[in-house]
A and B are shown apart, each in its own frame.
Chain A
Amino acid sequence: MITTSAAFIIVVEFGSVLVCGWLLSSYLLSVYSTRRTKLDRIFGPVERAIYYLGGVNPYEEMGWKAYLRAVLALNAVEAVIGFVLLLFQGSLPLNPMHAPDMSWSLSFNTALSFSSNTNLQHYNGGSALSYLSQMAVIQFLQFTSAATGLSVGIAVFRGLTGKTKGLGNFYVDYTRTLVRVLIPLSGVAALVLIFLGVPQSLNGYTIFKTLEIGGSEVVKSGPIASLVSIMQLGTNGGGYFGSNAANPLTNPSQITNLFELALMMLIPTSLPFLFGRMLGRMKEGRTIIVASYSLYFIDLVIAFIPITHLGQGMEVRFGAASSVFWTVTTTAFTTGSVNASLSAFNPLVILAALFGMIIQATPGGIGVGAMYMLMYVIMTVFIVGLMAGRTPEYLGTKINAGDVKLAIIAFLSHPIIILIPTVITFAIGAQAAAGLGTNSLSFTQILYEYTSAAANNGSDFLGSAGNTVYFNVSTGIVMWLGRFIPIAVMLAIAGNMVQRKRYASEALRTDTFAFTAVLIVAIFILAVLTFFPFLAIGPILSYLEGFKNGF
């Protein structure tokens, strides 16, 4: 059960994030419109220089196909850069600890993982990566994948609001996201984190003799704060160290803990408000924020049903409540950073975490979370339309059979790329290579691994035990499919809708609490029932078997 004091902290955290998200949404509206602002004097020249050097024509308006081609081409090139840098990191500069070259399968997995905003890590960053790789692979891809996600989310918003000719220009959205949003915000966040104790240096690791005679310790300092800031703000989640945000160097106190939580919640929380502002109808944004936060709240309630004591696998400075709160939040926002070992938790906490990754819109990852919520809205409008015997409409435009088919493809791709690899893993016995057996516990771990990969979350049970060719390649492919199939499909829906005729009267009001309630129930039924048999033989069975104190 949750204590009053912990509930108080959670309410304060929610309150501040909602206020900051609302304020940020007003700024984001200016970033993604052509309206002139005072900040153009600072950012304008930088952006024009990038367009000039990059050969981008910023006035080109893209349809969904051109937008998607640009997304795929840029992300593919960026993944290849990451892959090559990891493969040869041993002979590249900024490697004072002499980290060796990464194997091809691990480089493949890591490059796809970070370029898809997943950040699943089958290595321990503290020893396996050079400073150059931490900066020019990990941080680089954390910035670019977050910028991609946010741009795509905005393009989908434009399609649904229907006030533009096309979906915008991907290279312009991407550049403005980096220049006006992610780099300034992470810069400030990094400095705050350093002030609060997170290291930022390039001096190599230092060995010290410790207080007791004969003892020694290695202080693994590095460019940590700059990485942690974008890893949380961009809902990436891939930590500097294997132990991620449990490591005191990345998360030294409860204050940094709550600050980092707020960072990961900030942008996904601001996007429903931005959607309302773009439409000029804040109530439509309210539907989305209320639905996503209600589902997040249900996750929290499930996770707080069992009493979690401060125990093995948790850090004392955060306490039990804060560890549970983090684990639910990091999956609800598909960030995937962890501040405690997942094996520390009751199966119900794991179940709540799985819900977040199955739904992906509670509120979900940067840009794409809002995109998934709109997918659910389209499906719900369709279901309600069928029940009421009316033509389904959303935002004054008709939802046709093609839109619904596409939304179903986006929805079904998720269980397919999770459940099939999970079954294949046990069918060919590949779990044994990661040291797992065939019980409900191992089943949960493998199910969690692919769910986390497909949802572009990245928290995992396997860690470096997952560093086998089978898991590296299979999760690598699942991460890219989980990222780009829904993006492609949602861009297609948005592209088809952007120029469709808008009507003044709406048969079905989507800005009411009644519709919001139906939406929540529909999401719960759609997402949870799809996965129920798998959840039943995984975490639910574990819970019933009475593993009260973790696995």
Chain B
Amino acid sequence: MKKSNSLSVPIRIALISLVACGLLFPGVVTGIAQLAMPVQANGSLISFNNTTIGSSLIAQEFNYSGFFHPRNDSASGLDPDITVQNATLQAARIHNVTGISIAYLDGIIKENTKYTLFFFGTAYVNVLDLNINLAEHYPSIYDRYTL
């Protein structure tokens, strides 16, 4: 019987693996994903006034002091979330700049609060969610600053 240790066997098996694992596998997974779950597969894109403004998973930069600001020191540099503690601190600034009531700001923070351990752990909010809410509810204040 033929022994499988000539150099042609590893070369052929490597090429088969390359096609199966490196091309077919990601290709088939991409096909299924695009057909069955296009929203997630394309990066969970989010819209404002019918315009796509990027991914809800990625932090956006905000300069106007009437917006909530993301943190810029985290591991990925793209962290879309801030702690509720941080958001509450920023609410005071936003109130001073825009005049929006603290009660309203605290309300939307509460509405959007998530926890690092599902229902306990550190409470946090997504910055973009808060800012979209502000821009939609106070167009007179934010129109000049938004897209």
List residues of chain A with CB under 8 Å of any chain B CB: 3, 5-6, 9, 50, 53-57, 59-60, 66, 69-70, 73-74, 76-78, 81, 135-137, 139-140, 143-144, 169, 171, 174-175, 178, 183, 186-187, 190-191, 194-203, 206, 208-213, 215, 217, 219, 221, 223, 225-227, 230, 241, 243, 246-249, 252, 254, 310, 312-322, 338-341, 344
Contact = CB atoms under 8 A, between A and B. Distances in A.
B116 A254 contact: yes
B6 to A, nearest CB: 8
A5 B25 contact: no
Contacts of B81: 315-317
A198 B146 CA distance: 28
B99 interface: no
Contacts, number: 264
Interface string B46-67: 0010011111011011111001
Nearest to A196: B40
Interface residues of B, number: 79
Given A199-B40, A213-B145, A248-B58, A56 B117 contact: no
Contact of B75 (A55, A190, A201, A314): A314
A201 B146 contact: no
> Closest 7 CB pairs between A and B?
A319-B116, A140-B22, A246-B75, A136-B22, A143-B21, A316-B81, A200-B33
Contacts of B33: 191, 194, 200-201, 225
Q: Is chain B's binding surface mostly helix, strand, loop or mixed?
A: mixed
Interface of B: 1-18, 20-23, 25-26, 28-30, 32-34, 37, 40-45, 48, 51-55, 57-58, 60-64, 67, 71, 73-83, 114, 116-118, 120-122, 124, 128, 131-132, 135, 144-147
Nearest to A79: B14
B83 A310 contact: yes
Contacts of A344: 75
B117 A6 contact: yes
Given A140-B21, A183-B20, A316-B124, A226 B116 contact: no
17 contacts: A55-B2, A60-B1, A60-B3, A70-B5, A77-B14, A137-B22, A140-B21, A202-B30, A206-B43, A210-B54, A212-B63, A215-B61, A243-B77, A246-B74, A317-B79, A318-B116, A338-B75
A339 B75 contact: yes
Contact of B117 (A50, A197, A208, A254): A254
Given A55-B9, A215-B60, A195 B40 contact: yes
Contacts of A169: 4
Given A70-B4, A212-B64, A315-B74, 8 more contacts: A55-B6, A73-B10, A139-B21, A174-B13, A194-B40, A252-B44, A314-B74, A316-B122
A551 B116 CA distance: 25
Contacts of A57: 1-4
Contacts of B79: 248, 315-317
Contacts of B73: 312-313
B16 to A, nearest CB: 6
Contact of A211 (B32, B45, B53, B122): B53
Contacts of A221: 42-43
Contacts of B116: 254, 316-319, 321-322
Contact of A321 (B1, B41, B44, B121): B121
A136 B37 CA distance: 24
Contacts of B114: 317
A135 to B, nearest CB: 5
A66 B37 CA distance: 46
Contacts of A212: 60-64, 67, 131, 145-147
